[in-house]
Amino acid sequence: MEKYKAKLEEEMKLLEEELATLGKKDVETGDWEAVPESEEKSQDVEDEGDMADRAEDYEERSSALGVLEKRLDDVKKALAKIEEGKFGICEICGNAIEEERLNVNPSAKTCESDMEKVI
Ligand SMILES: [Zn+2]
């Protein structure tokens, strides 16, 4: 179990670092929000600095942020399960999740045969 915990903690760190490059964390809610590219950074791409591009860029950041945030959430849930002694148990059928599956993705919530039932 310790090796999964270490993996998950490592992944959590990486995800938070990645999130920090795209947005900022709301200290009150703990949610991440995309921030528009700073003036400082956008000086390199002066020609592309019109409003439409900026809006598009913001959209992209927001959706990338959403994906990362979801992954971070899964990682946190998996860590919580380790604390509760429920780690590695399929949320659908209640059987143990295959070890090789956990090695690839320690935040997996289901066994291999149930993975398509969860979105
Ligand atoms: Zn299952």
Q: How much distance in Å is there from the Cα of 8 to the middle of ligand 1? A: 21
Q: What average pLDDT does range 66-77 have in this prediction? A: 96
pLDDT digits (tens, 9 = 90+) for 90-99: 999 999 999 9
Q: How much distance in Å is there from the Cα of 71 to the middle of ligand 1? A: 20
Instruction: Kindly list the protein residues that place their beta carbon closer than 5 angstroms to ligand 1, a single-atom ion.
Output: 90, 92-93, 111, 114
Q: What is the pTM of this model?
A: 0.79
pLDDT digits (tens, 9 = 90+) for 5-34: 999 999 999 999 999 999 998 889 988 888
Instruction: Give every CB contact of residue 89 below 8 A, 6+ residues apart in sequence.
Output: 81, 95, 96, 97
Contact status, residue 79 vs residue 9, Cβ threshold 8 Å: yes
Q: What average pLDDT does range 60-65 have in this prediction? A: 93
Query: What does the pLDDT read at residue 35?
Result: 85
Contact status, residue 51 vs residue 94, Cβ threshold 8 Å: no
Q: How much distance in Å is there from the Cα of 80 to the middle of ligand 1? A: 19
Per-residue confidence at 52, pLDDT binned at 50, 70, 90?
Answer: confident
Residue 52 tokens, joined: 């439409």
The residue among 52, 23, 28, 26 whose CA lies nearest residue 38 is 23
Instruction: Give the separation between CA 39 and CA 103, rounded to whole angstroms.
Output: 42
Quickly count helices (H) and strands (E) in the chain. 4, 2
Q: How much distance in Å is there from the Cα of 83 to the middle of ligand 1? A: 21
